[in-house]
Homo-oligomer: A and B are copies of this chain.
Amino acid sequence: MQSNQHPHPHIHPHDGHNEEHFESSDFLKDIVIGMSDGLTVPFALAAGLSGAVDSTKIILTAGVAEIIAGSIAMGLGGFLAGKTETDHYQSELRREYYEVNHFPEVEKQECREIFEDLGLSQNSVDIIMDELSKDKDKWVKFMMRFELGLEQPDEKRAMKSALNIGGAYIVGGLIPLSTYAIFNDVKTGFMYSVVITLIALFIFGYFKNKVIGQNPLSGAFRTMAIGAAAAAAAFFVAQWFEHM
C-alpha cells in the first residue's frame, strides 16, 4: 500500500542497456510494493486477532480472506490504474496535437518558457523553437515529456504488474500465517509469527534498500519497525475492542 511516492526510476530513453535496467527495476518495484504490504497487513491482522480470539481457525480464515482481498485490491487496482494511465496519456497526446495545430503560438510560448527557465538567451530560444516547430511529432513529444512530465506508458506492463504485485502480496502474507497453521495454538502461533515475520521484514527491508541504493541496514530496521508498529497497534486495539 505504499503507493506512488517511490523514487522515480531513471529514464534513459536512448540507451538499450538502461532500458533493460528500467524494466527489471519495474519488476522489483512491483515485488517490493506487494511484498511489503503482504508481510505487514496479514501479519498485523493475525497479531491483532491473537489478542482477541482463541481459535487459530478464525485467525487463519480471516488471514486468508485478507490475503485474497488485499491481493485482488492491489493487483486489480494496479492493473486498472495502469489502464487509466494509458488512457490519460492518449488523451493528453490528442490534446497536444490539437493545440499544436490550432494554437501554435500559445504552444510556442509555453515551450519558450521551458527553455528560458533554463537560462537560455532569447537568441538561442529562437533557434530552438524554429527547429522544434518544424516537426510536429518531435514538438508534441517534447511537450508531453518536458511540459507535462508524461512518458508513454507500456500497456503490457499493467497486466504483468498486477500479477507481480498480487503474487508478491500472497507470498508475503502466507509467511506470518504459516505458524498458526503449524502450531494450531494461538499463543505459540503468534509468538513464532512475530519472530519469523520480523526476520522476514528485516531481510526484505535490507535487500529492498540495497536495490534502490539506500543504506540497507537502516532500511531493514525501518521496514521491521513499520511491521512491528502495525502489529502492536492492531493487537492492542483488537484486545481493547474485544473487551469493550
A interface with B by C-beta (< 8 Å): 1-14, 29, 33, 36-37, 40-41, 43-45, 47-49, 52-53, 57-58, 60-62, 64-66, 68-70, 72-74, 76-78, 80-82, 84-85, 87-89, 91, 113-114, 117-121, 123-124, 127-128, 131-132, 134-135, 138, 141-142, 145-151, 158, 161, 165, 169, 209, 212-214, 219, 222, 226, 229-231, 233-235, 237-238, 241-242
Contact = CB atoms under 8 A, between A and B. Distances in A.
B61 A238 contact: yes
A12 to B, nearest CB: 7
A94 to B, nearest CB: 12
Nearest to A120: B131
19 contacts: A2-B78, A2-B80, A3-B4, A3-B6, A6-B85, A36-B73, A49-B61, A60-B241, A61-B241, A61-B242, A65-B235, A68-B238, A72-B229, A73-B226, A84-B214, A88-B213, A123-B127, A124-B131, A149-B149
A144 to B, nearest CB: 11
Contacts of A85: 5-8
Contact of A74 (B3, B127, B138, B241): B3
A69 B81 contact: no
